[in-house]
Homo-oligomer: A and B are copies of this chain.
Amino acid sequence: MNIAILFGGSSFEHEISIVSAITMKKVLKKSTLTYIFVSPDREFYLIDTDKINSKLFSSGEYKKGKQLTLKQGGFFVDSMFGSKAVAFDGLLNLIHGRDGEDGKIASMMEFFNIPFISPRMEASALSYNKLYTKFLAESLGVKTVTYEYLSKNDERKITMDYPVIIKPVRLGSSIGVSIVKEASELDYALDVAFEFDTDVIVEPFIEGVKEYNQAGCYTNEWELSIVEEPHKEEFLDFEKKYMDFSRDSQVLAADIDEAMKTKIQESFKKIYNPLFLGSIIRCDFFVVDGEVLLNEINPIPGSMANYLFPDFEGMVERLFRNLPKEQNILIDYQYIHSIQSAKGKA
């Protein structure tokens, strides 16, 4: 099939989206790929699949390419001879962070009636914000790490014991995240986090906590990845995560027993269904005293977590064949008609 890869965006993770997008060439080998780039100023460009490389973007050379216009049913190349749709069967939203994960792209694809793989709007709004993710998990009976919440103008006071981890509520890829070992370091860590976001959550930093990642989707059946135990140093900084986004070879499954694997997978399913239908997501869990806690939802994981799946390309195709449908709304103007006739009588 012909898959459009939408990437870039006005996002702190713009550059890792480029890396994720290029990685797709290595893992979607049987498909025809159509690359659509969202520039930092949010214009759409058609990028030649044969020529795509990171320098094309960092050099600004992409601007010489064809600019596209989003209209009902697709992306169009406008020229003197009219407007022509770019051909593809479905679109994979690969924009990490703002625009891609916050619901903007999902909104636009739904509005303009383009079949797409991505969390839908509600799923995006809830998973893009780590505070709302807590609400969601709680409502679904999935436990999370305890937390406190601070807004930019709040008093900078926390009640939990150190060490803690400070996270901007709306960012991924560890941007703006700090581990704070004692009270004297809190102020600086908050300064850093508030540079990126107006709100942060504070969680206990659990030294050596067991972390497991589970990715997956629902096509016409559950397609769950292996459970991975990510190798980590204290935590991945941005450059290491960046390299991580270009992963394309399969990793080994974590060495856990069946009971734990089942617990992790059941938690994943509770989060995913039905809110995340139409998307491939990765959930990162902590295991503390045998209990599975949701740490984060990655609504558009780096390189789509392809390296966790035995048949990533087949799964993408199956998902495209099983996308959720928007409810059909019939507008027949019957109320306007009836009010008009009521007015006529009065």
**A interface residues (Cβ-Cβ under 8 A, vs B):** 10-12, 14-16, 18-19, 40-43, 54-55, 57-58, 69-72, 78, 98-99, 102-104, 106-108, 110-113, 121-122, 124-126, 128-129, 131-132, 135-136, 139, 151, 198, 238-239, 242-243, 274, 329, 331, 333, 335-340
CB closest residue in chain B, given A103? B121
Query: A340 — which chain B residues lie within 8 A by C-beta?
Result: 54-55, 58
Which 9 A-B pairs rank lowest in CB-CB distance, beginning with the nearest? A125-B125, A107-B107, A58-B333, A135-B135, A40-B331, A104-B107, A58-B336, A54-B336, A15-B335
Query: A274 — which chain B residues lie within 8 A by C-beta?
Result: 151, 198
Query: A112 — which chain B residues lie within 8 A by C-beta?
Result: 42
Picked from B43, B103, B136, the residue with its CB within 8 Å of the CB of A107 is B103
Interface of A (DSSP majority class): helix
Contact (Cβ within 8 A) B102 A57: no
Instruction: Tell me, in angstroms, the Cα distance from A12 to B329 when the chains sit together.
Output: 6
CB closest residue in chain B, given A16? B335
Picked from B99, B126, B131, B337, the residue with its CB within 8 Å of the CB of A111 is B99
Contact (Cβ within 8 A) B239 A111: no
Query: A139 — which chain B residues lie within 8 A by C-beta?
Result: 131, 135
Contact (Cβ within 8 A) A71 B69: yes
Contact (Cβ within 8 A) B98 A329: yes
Query: A122 — which chain B residues lie within 8 A by C-beta?
Result: 102, 125, 128-129, 132
Contact (Cβ within 8 A) B121 A132: no
Please judge, given known A-B contacts A103-B103, A274-B198, whether A333 and B57 are in contact too, CB under 8 Å.
yes
CB closest residue in chain B, given A56? B336
Query: A198 — which chain B residues lie within 8 A by C-beta?
Result: 274
Query: A12 — which chain B residues lie within 8 A by C-beta?
Result: 329
Give the interface centre of A70, A125, A129, A136 by most chain B CB atoms within 10 Å.
A125
Instruction: Tell me, in angstroms, the Cα distance from A197 to B335 when the chains sit together.
Output: 21
Please judge, given known A-B contacts A42-B113, A104-B107, A340-B54, whether A242 and B335 are in contact too, CB under 8 Å.
yes
Instruction: Tell me, in angstroms, the Cα distance from A121 to B110 when the chains sit together.
Output: 14
Contact (Cβ within 8 A) B331 A238: no
11 contacts between A and B (CB under 8 A): A11-B329, A12-B329, A14-B329, A15-B336, A40-B329, A54-B340, A69-B69, A103-B107, A121-B121, A239-B339, A243-B339
Query: A124 — which chain B residues lie within 8 A by C-beta?
Result: 125
Query: A132 — which chain B residues lie within 8 A by C-beta?
Result: 122, 126, 132, 135
Instruction: Tell me, in angstroms, the Cα distance from A43 to B72 when the chains sit together.
Output: 7
What's the least CB distance linking A330 to chain B, in Å? 8
Instruction: Tell me, in angstroms, the Cα distance from A128 to B122 when the chains sit together.
Output: 9
Picked from B14, B111, B135, the residue with its CB within 8 Å of the CB of A108 is B111
